[in-house]
């Protein structure tokens, strides 16, 4: 299962998974977590528009998968709504019985990291990606491009943080 959205990091994680982990007999599931619709004051057209944009995004990524790896038979699409992305992703991975969960990871600014270090005594630091890595029943991998200049990927799992994979 690959968690996707419109971010550069999610697309990079999808490309990494297609080139490094997906095999021809695998079932590939693309998961997109959408923000819940605000029931107060949101028009039905607006809700339908957001849902259709989410499905368009996931369908375009599905087409990219089929172009890059046509031998992978099935790509399933799941779009779920919810406020807490981490628990939703972990629950969906459990429901689908996935063996591998791949997430895109952003490089955080030094200010953000310092704030999280300071706040880590009171709240869980790390965000959605860290939550998924620590709580998923399957192998969870966070992927981030090292840099455009030097290439390679930084991989984070339960046991390794920012492992540089030059491939």
What is the per-residue pLDDT across 67-123, written as a single tens digit (0 to 9) for each? 999 888 667 777 788 888 999 999 999 999 999 999 998 876 667 556 766 765 544
Domain of 158, in residue numbers: 2-165
CA–CA distance, 7 with 103 (Å, rounded to integer)? 11
pLDDT at 21: 92
Residue 143's pLDDT band, with cuts at 50, 70 and 90, is: very high
The pTM is what? 0.81
| Closest C-alpha to 145, from 104, 109, 112 | 104
For residue 25, the domain's CATH number is 3.40.50.620
Instruction: Give how many domains the chain has, as a whole number.
Output: 1
Question: Which strands form 28-34's sheet, in the order they lie side by side?
Answer: 75-81, 28-34, 2-3, 100-104, 139-145, 153-156, 163-165
CA dihedral 129, 127, 157, 134 (to 10 degrees): -100
């Amino acid at each position: 299962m690959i968690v996707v959205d419109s971010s550069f990091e999610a697309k990079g994680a999808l490309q990494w998974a297609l080139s490094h982990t997906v095999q021809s007999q695998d079932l590939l599931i693309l998961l997109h977590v959408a923000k819940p619709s605000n029931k107060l004051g949101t028009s039905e057209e607006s809700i339908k528009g957001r849902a259709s944009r989410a499905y368009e995004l996931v369908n375009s990524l599905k087409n990219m998968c089929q172009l890059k790896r046509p031998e992978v038979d099935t790509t399933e699409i799941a779009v779920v709504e919810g406020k807490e992305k981490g628990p939703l992703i972990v629950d969906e991975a459990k429901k689908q019985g996935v063996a591998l969960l791949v997430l895109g990871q952003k490089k955080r600014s030094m200010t953000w990291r310092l704030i999280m270090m300071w706040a880590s005594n009171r709240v869980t630091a790390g965000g959605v990606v860290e939550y998924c890595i620590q709580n998923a029943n399957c192998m969870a991998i966070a992927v981030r491009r090292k840099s455009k200049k030097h290439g390679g990927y930084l991989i984070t799992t339960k046991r390794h943080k920012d492992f540089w994979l030059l491939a």
